[in-house]
Amino acid sequence: MKHIFYPIFLFAAVFFGACAQTGENGQSVRQNSTNEVTTIAEIPSVGEGVQSETVANNAQAITVTVKGGINPIDWKPGETATLTFSGFPRNAAQLQAVQEQYGGKPEVAVLLELMAFEIYNHDKEEGSKCLDMVNVANNIPDVTRILKDRYNPQYGDYYTPQLVATYMEGATPENAYKAKQPFTIQVRSHKVNKYQDSNALKGTVLYLEVYSSGYDTPWRGISVTKQKGCPYYKAVNCPSLYTQCKPVSFKIDDEYTDIWAQ
């Protein structure tokens, strides 16, 4: 019987966190704001007979394009970034691949949070690993507590499986939140709140916003930071991202189609 050992290390990294919370040389650096296209490396699934790098669950490798960008050093009010991506990761290993490739950009922390939300929608156990990966420790309990209701069909109007779809370009209550392809989100720096250094978090907190058609106030706040010793930006606080959003308009006959199936 032939065993493949190298995936074990990768999955261990998912379980024990993407990075340490403290360490040296953790200061933020200026980011390249030019257009980029990044192909996310495929992740091998664990098991016998794995002879090549194939994404778990047979999902395709994810590509991400960033236009513009958020300067993590100098706050520029309303600075924008447009993130276009080819699909959603289906599990923690695939989300980790996105984070490892592109998580050093603050705007990508917003995308990773939304991806983690959607994984939690489909698989609470796998989604919990993802939330641990893309949030600072203090933010995880609040996010998890609310998402349990948002993604529970027994909670009536609080059940909002379309939550993440509301952030996708082209998705509106009037078209049952059917997003344009490829998926795109809009992120900007907060127009009022300046960056703040945090000794408690060991990092500089950046106040960002992401556009959603699911709310009367479309720009939804999320703060992110890169903690000392960690190469990735993570969500610090984001309650407005998971408040109850608008349902599909009663004026149409269509129903919401799972964002993974769009």
| Among the listed residues 140, 160, 145, the one whose alpha carbon sits nearest the alpha carbon of residue 244 | 160
H helix or E strand, kind and range, residue 84? strand 80-85
What pLDDT score was predicted for residue 156? Answer: 86
Please name the helix (run of DSSP H) or strand (run of DSSP E) that holds residue 92, with its range, or none.
helix 92-102
If one compares 41 and 116, the residue with the highest pLDDT of the two is 116
Mean pLDDT for the stretch of residues 184-208: 98
- Per-residue model confidence (pLDDT) at position 59: 53
pLDDT recorded at residue 6: 37
Q: Dihedrals φ, ψ of 250, to 5°?
A: -70, -10
pLDDT digits (tens, 9 = 90+) for 21-60: 433 333 333 344 334 433 333 333 222 222 222 334 445 6
* Rounded alpha-carbon distances, angstroms, from residue 218 to 67, 70, 187, 214, 244: 21, 19, 11, 7, 13
Which residues, 6 or more positions from 251, have their beta carbon under 8 angstroms from its beta carbon? 174
Q: pLDDT at residue 19 above 70?
A: no
**Tens-place pLDDT, residues 231-241:** 999 999 999 99
Residue 243 has pLDDT above 50, yes or no: yes
Q: Using DSSP bridges, classify how beta strands 183-189 and 196-198 pair: parallel, antiparallel or unpaired.
A: unpaired
Neighbours of 244 (CB within 10 A): 15
Residues with Cβ within 8 Å of residue 36, at least 6 apart in sequence: 65, 66
Which pLDDT does position 20 carry in this prediction? 43
Q: What pLDDT is stored for residue 157 in this prediction?
A: 82
Whether 225 and 27 have beta carbons less than 8 Å apart is answered as no
Mean pLDDT over the full length of the chain: 83
> Mean pLDDT over residues 141-170, rounded?
95
Collapsed DSSP state (helix, strand, coil) of residue 224 = strand
- In this prediction, residue 220 carries a pLDDT of 98
- Per residue in 85-109, pLDDT (tens digit) is 999 999 999 999 999 999 999 999 9
Over residues 133-150, the pLDDT tens digits come to: 999 999 999 999 999 999
pLDDT digits (tens, 9 = 90+) for 70-79: 999 999 999 9
Q: Answer whether residue 205 shows pLDDT above 60.
A: yes
pLDDT in the model for residue 12: 39
The predicted structure's pLDDT at residue 198: 98
